[in-house]
Homo-oligomer: A and B are copies of this chain.
Amino acid sequence: MSDLPPGGPPAGTGTTARRRGRPPRTESADTRDRILTAARDEFSERGYEKTSVRGIAKAAGVDSALVHHYFGTKEQVFEAAITQSFGPALQAPKAVEEGPLDGVGERLTRFFFGVWENPATRAPLLAVVRSAVTNETAAAVFRRIVATQALRRIAGRLDLPDAELRAELAAAQLVGTAMLRYVIKVEPLASADTEQIIARLAPVVQRHLTEP
C-alpha cells in the first residue's frame, strides 16, 4: 500500500530518522506469515500430495502466484512452513532429558502428549506424518526429529547395549500411538483420556530405555 520511496531514506523531515535494522517490507512480513501458517494447516490436514498451492493461497487470502513469488516451488513452501513451525516449541526441554534416568519414561511421554494435545503444536507434526509416508523431504524431517529427540539427547546417557535401538523402539511406541490416535483415529484410543494413556505408556517407554 503506502509506498516507500525507492532508494534513500524518506525525504520526510522532522521525525526521527530510524532507518536501521532490517529494511521494512511494509506489511509483507504479515503476508508471509499468513501464507506459512496457511501452508502448515493445509499440509497438516491433507498431507503433501493432496495439498495445492492454490489451496494454500486461498486459505491465506492471496493469489497463488504470490506464494510462488515468496517461496518458489511447492516443495520449498513445505520446507519453509515446516522449518518455521519447528523453531519454537518442539525441542524437548532440558528437564526431560536431564532429570533422573528412572523418571525419563514419564517425562518423555508427558512431553510427547503435551505437544500432540496442543492444536498449535500438533499441526506441524501432523503435516510431517501425513507427508512423510510419500514425500522424501518430509521423511527426512521425520528422521531428524526421531534422531534428535530420541537419540542424541537421551540414548547418549544410556549406559547399555543397543542404546540407539532402544530409544527408537521407545519412539516407535509413542509414534504408533500418535498414528492410531490422531491420524487413523482408532477407537477407543482416539477418545481415551490422556492421563490414562500416559499411565500405560510411561512404564513401557521407561522399560525400553533402561531395563537391563
- Listed in ascending order, the chain A residues whose CB lies under 8 Å from chain B are 46-47, 49-50, 129-130, 132-134, 139, 142-143, 146-147, 162, 164-166, 168-169, 171-177, 179-181, 183-186, 188-189, 192, 196-197, 200-201, 204, 207-208
Contacts and interface: CB of A to CB of B under 8 A. Distances in A.
Contacts of A139: 183-185
B130 A165 contact: no
Contacts of A186: 142-143, 146-147, 168, 171
Tell me how many chains of this kind the complex includes: 2
Given A168-B180, A171-B186, A174-B176, 18 more contacts: A46-B134, A47-B133, A49-B49, A50-B134, A130-B133, A132-B183, A139-B183, A143-B185, A146-B180, A165-B192, A165-B196, A165-B200, A169-B201, A171-B180, A172-B180, A172-B189, A173-B176, A176-B177
Main secondary structure of the interface of A (DSSP, over half): helix
